[in-house]
């Protein structure tokens, strides 16, 4: 029997589905640095790895490894240079996962900051505070406000239709600036600085699997409308955090949420984290994970192709040299 080393635990329902379709495989779960607990014959039977982190010391022991599937868009924690040197290991990823959850999270953030929910607790404690004046002067209604979605891939499109459904006007930015059913207009990236001053909500939803140079530096951040919202659902590198702090400390934004992946985690003591109305979350928008997780189902689809040597039909391949040969799994 061949083994699949799983780093990210599967739910009971996922395991039952897997066992029903692929009885020739056995799942072995092991966290990083736990391979010493496996017997030599188990290590030699592992052809497939499912998870987001693979250490060099582990790759060295997995002599028969032929395919790595990452149930997310990032391969930062896969020892990619060593994998490439092997020249006989496939790598596949999941480009976008849990889109409905991300869309709900974006809408929740916009409503929370729009209605100033975070300030209500303090206001209600102060008997001198006029809640009527606070409501009249500070709380948003969404219909008619302008949302600018930077990046109209699957994540950006998911957020766009939800915002349109709630009455916001939606503009998009992408190259090429093609028609989008949920956007009043779509502009190229070259026009980003022209439209930033008009938006009440700016959502950066560039593909998470790509390492982006900062798109939002001080010049772009300064252009944004005062009392607007900035939401980032992409790699953290798309925003210059030092510039963001310098602009945000002046109280420019109603709210800033960076729900992003960083190659190096941002310190809990970082000045940016201490600012009111700034939230930095570790891709909380993806949760809760569900049985229908795209990462798992992409893995099942790719496993079907792998078993039949249809490597060219596997989704989201990062690495797979011409003439790749798998080990026998029959």
Q: Calculate what percentage of the chain has a pLDDT beyond 70.
A: 90
pLDDT tops 70 at residue 249:
yes
Computed over every residue of the chain, the mean pLDDT equals 88
Mean pLDDT confidence for 111-131: 78
Specify whether 185 is located in the same domain as 237: yes
325 located within any domain: no
Specify whether 118 is located in the same domain as 71: no
Specify whether 273 is located in the same domain as 302: no
**132: confidence class by pLDDT, cuts 50, 70, 90:** low
Nearest to 102 by CA among 242, 214, 234: 234
Specify whether 174 is located in the same domain as 195: yes
Specify whether 73 is located in the same domain as 128: no
Identify the weakest region by mean pLDDT among 58-62, 83-87, 211-215, 231-235: 211-215
Q: pLDDT tens across 22-35, in order?
A: 999 999 888 887 77
pLDDT tops 90 at residue 72:
no
- The pLDDT value recorded for residue 216 is 96
Q: Which domain holds residue 156?
A: 99-286
pLDDT tops 90 at residue 46:
yes
**320: confidence class by pLDDT, cuts 50, 70, 90:** low
- CATH number where 35 lies: 3.40.50.720
In 3-state terms, what secondary structure has residue 127?
A: coil
Q: Which segments of the chain are extended strands (E)?
A: 2-6, 25-29, 46-50, 67-69, 90-92, 146-150, 169-173, 185-187, 201-204, 229-232, 255-259, 278-281, 317-319
Q: Record the pTM.
A: 0.79
Q: Calculate what percentage of the chain has a pLDDT beyond 90.
A: 61
Q: How far apart are CA 99 and CA 143, in angstroms?
A: 23
Mean pLDDT confidence for 100-126: 88
Within 10 A of 191 (CB to CB), how many other CB atoms are there?
13
328 located within any domain: no
Specify whether 160 is located in the same domain as 260: yes
327 vs 124, residue with greater confidence? 124
Contacts of residue 94, defined as CB under 8 A and 6 or more positions apart, other chains included, come to: 70, 71, 72, 73, 294, 295, 298, 299, 316
Specify whether 122 is located in the same domain as 242: yes
- The pLDDT value recorded for residue 330 is 47
324 located within any domain: no
Specify whether 105 is located in the same domain as 185: yes
329 located within any domain: no
Number of domains in the chain: 2
């Amino acid at each position: 029997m061949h083994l699949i080393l799983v780093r990210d635990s599967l739910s009971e329902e996922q395991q039952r589905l897997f066992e029903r379709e692929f009885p020739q495989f056995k799942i072995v779960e092991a966290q990083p640095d736990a391979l010493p607990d496996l017997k030599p014959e188990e290590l030699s039977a592992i052809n497939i790895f499912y998870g987001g982190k693979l250490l060099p010391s582990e790759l060295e022991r997995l002599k028969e490894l032929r395919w790595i599937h990452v149930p997310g868009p990032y391969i930062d924690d896969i020892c990619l240079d060593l994998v490439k040197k092997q020249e006989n290991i496939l790598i596949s990823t999941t480009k976008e996962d849990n889109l409905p959850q991300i869309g709900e999270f974006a809408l929740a953030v916009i409503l929370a900051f729009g209605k100033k929910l975070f300030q209500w607790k303090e206001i209600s404690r102060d008997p001198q505070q006029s809640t009527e004046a606070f409501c009249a002067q500070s709380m948003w209604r969404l219909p008619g406000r302008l949302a600018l979605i930077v990046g109209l891939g699957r994540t950006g499109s998911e957020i766009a239709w939800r915002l349109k459904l709630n009455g916001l006007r939606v503009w998009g930015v992408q190259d090429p600036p093609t028609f989008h059913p949920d956007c009043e207009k779509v502009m190229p990236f070259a026009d980003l600085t022209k439209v930033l001053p008009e938006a009440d909500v700016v959502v950066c939803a560039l593909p998470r699997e790509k390492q982006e140079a900062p798109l939002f530096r001080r010049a772009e951040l300064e252009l944004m409308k005062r009392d607007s919202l900035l939401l980032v659902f992409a790699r953290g590198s798309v925003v210059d955090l030092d510039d963001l702090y310098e602009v945000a400390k002046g109280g420019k934004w109603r709210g800033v949420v960076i729900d992003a992946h960083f190659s190096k985690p941002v310190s809990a003591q970082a000045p940016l984290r201490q600012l009111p109305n700034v939230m930095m979350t570790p891709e909380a928008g993806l949760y809760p994970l569900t049985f229908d997780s795209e990462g798992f189902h992409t893995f099942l689809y790719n496993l079907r192709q792998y078993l039949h040597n249809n490597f060219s039909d596997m989704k989201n391949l990062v690495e797979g040299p011409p003439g790749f040969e798998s080990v026998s799994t029959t």
